[in-house]
Chains A and B, each alone.
Chain A
Amino acid sequence: MQGQLFLKLQNILKHQGTDMEKFGFTISKGRQIDYDSNDRRIAEYILAKEPSFSLCIECGCCSATCTAANFTKFSLREFNILIKRGELELVSQNIKKCMLCGKCTLVCPRGVNTRNVITLAKQAFQKTESYAV
């Protein structure tokens, strides 16, 4: 234990090491969606090719019947919203969990072509390398 403590102190004195080592805490990253600085081109891309995307009232019927959601954390309702808000991190990591089985399209009370939305989203992520799936 002594050695480790000494190393910690040494770091503090020499001003290296991460904030965590120097201060014992870091500045918490906010969870706020900053709508104005987000990039919503992927949402616009999807909306242009699939107009029914605008009809979603976020009722969650699709996520309820989802085959993948039965096994893992995957909510199409949440992804639709996050895409519209330009929060793409979570979506790009999880979108390939979808099996395209089509149950969501079948149950959607607003007739949103969810299968096409997912496919277009995947294409869009492929195109923008920062979120390559």
Chain B
Amino acid sequence: MSKHVVVIGGGVAGLETAGRLSKEGISVSLLEKEENTGGHLSDWYKLFPDRRDSGEVKKYLDDLSKSENVLLMTGSTVAEFRKNNNHFHIITSKGKEIKADAVVVATGFDLFSSSRKEEYGYGIYDNVITSADLERMFRNGKITMANGAVPKRIGMVHCVGSRDEKVGNLYCSKLCCVTAVKQAIEIREHIKDSKVFCFYMDMRMGGAHYEELYREAQEKWGVSFIRGKVSEASESINHFIVVKVEDTLAGRPLRMEVDLLVLMAGMEMSKGGKSIAELGGLKTGENRFFEVADHHFGSNISNVAGVFYAGACTAPMNITETISHARAAVSEVTEYLKASGN
């Protein structure tokens, strides 16, 4: 009796899981709330660390998940989620009922909504944008200020919505630093004599080749790094953004006007993930991501037998880690299905 698995979430993790499961001969119904799959991937321009085009990874995932075993249901979320004697009944928002032997939750993350950090004035001051807005600008090939002019001096604020008790996120989102450095280099490439300032608390460049990217940003592109958490941003009379920060290594407060301020928004548990947690009775941790059974050898296993996690719904992850985590989820699912034998 061929097994059927429901994968909730059609992002990087979802596509990878669905594709790999179909290769194991398991039929999959892949639920995606948006009209098209790929999740955040389709918002990105070039990916760190080697700055390859995000389209390449998208194409790999599409090819992987395009198989008759995978029934893709876009524009649908989970309305009901019931488990009885290790079968799962899921009713989608479009009313379709699915019976499955296992469920893989791949709901991923949402970017922190920067307007919650009121003192940075996102949504109020014209030239305060987020890193996602900047990626969109890169995709359309035009980096401009609100009035259409080309910015010459760009500030990047790290840790917006991460490592910040005031917004309830104590954890570090791990990827904003490397994203900031990547975007700084891209800005310098797009705009000839631009000058980029990164305001950081700690430069967390832990991944492979991240440090080299950091050094290249300094050496080749003259990006300046000022250690200090920006306290507030406000708009001057000529619509520049006034940044107030303490240059902690010089030990003095610093004031600077920039043409454009980019907020490096952190990662949070996605809204979809939260609703699945309620529906499925899945435990979430203090940082509101799904609580995994074991941090070392059980990072795909949930507190409900038969429900598995894949990707950034458990913790901030880059694309490499997401794909590896998804592959681990597939091996957990196949092992579980073999063991349960139903």
The proximity string for B residues 261-289 relative to A, scoring 1 for CB distances below 8 Å and 0 otherwise, is: 00000000000000000000000000000
Counting residue pairs across A and B whose Cβ atoms lie within 8 Å, the total is: 50
Within 8 Å CB of A55, what residues of B?
215, 218-219
Number of B positions contacting A (CB below 8 A): 18
Q: Tell me the bound Cα distance from A55 to B223 in angstroms.
A: 10
Q: Tell whether B55 is near chain A: CB-to-CB under 8 Å.
A: no
Within 8 Å CB of A132, what residues of B?
none
Q: Tell me the bound Cα distance from A58 to B250 in angstroms.
A: 10
The proximity string for B residues 198-229 relative to A, scoring 1 for CB distances below 8 Å and 0 otherwise, is: 00000100000000000100110010110100
Q: Tell whether A50 is near chain B: CB-to-CB under 8 Å.
A: no
| Contact segment of A1-9, A12-20, A76-84 | A76-84
Q: Tell whether B296 is near chain A: CB-to-CB under 8 Å.
A: no
CB of B123, distance to nearest CB on chain A (Å): 25
Within 8 Å CB of A57, what residues of B?
203, 218, 225
| Contact segment of A26-34, A66-74, A114-122, A123-131 | A26-34
Q: Which residue of B has the minimal Cβ distance to A78?
A: B250
B257 contacts A33, CB within 8 Å?
no
**Which among A33, A78, A84 is the interface contact of B255 at CB below 8 angstroms?**
A33
Q: Tell me the bound Cα distance from A52 to B225 in angstroms.
A: 15
Given contacts A51-B219, A54-B222, A110-B215, contact A34 B255 (CB under 8 A): yes
Q: Tell me the bound Cα distance from A30 to B255 in angstroms.
A: 11
Those of A32-65 within 8 Å (CB) of chain B: 32-36, 47, 51-52, 54-55, 57-58
Within 8 Å CB of B218, what residues of A?
54-55, 57
What class of interface size applies to chain A in its complex with B?
A: 20 to 34
A33 contacts B249, CB within 8 Å?
no
Q: Which residue of A has the minimal Cβ distance to B215?
A: A55
Q: Which residue of A has the minimal Cβ distance to B243?
A: A35
The proximity string for A residues 82-95 relative to B, scoring 1 for CB distances below 8 Å and 0 otherwise, is: 10110100000000
CB of B17, distance to nearest CB on chain A (Å): 39
Within 8 Å CB of B305, what residues of A?
none
Q: Tell whether B167 is near chain A: CB-to-CB under 8 Å.
A: no
**Which among B215, B249, B255 is the interface contact of A32 at CB below 8 angstroms?**
B255
Q: Tell me the bound Cα distance from A31 to B256 in angstroms.
A: 14
Within 8 Å CB of B252, what residues of A?
31-33, 87
B247 contacts A81, CB within 8 Å?
yes
Within 8 Å CB of B249, what residues of A?
58, 77-78, 81
Q: Which residue of B has the minimal Cβ distance to A84?
A: B224
- Sampled A-B contacts (6; CB under 8 Å): A31-B253, A32-B252, A33-B253, A36-B255, A51-B219, A52-B219
A-side interface residues toward B, CB under 8 Å? 30-36, 47, 51-52, 54-55, 57-58, 77-78, 81-82, 84-85, 87, 110
Closest 8 CB pairs of A and B: A35-B256, A33-B254, A32-B253, A81-B250, A58-B249, A54-B218, A31-B252, A33-B252
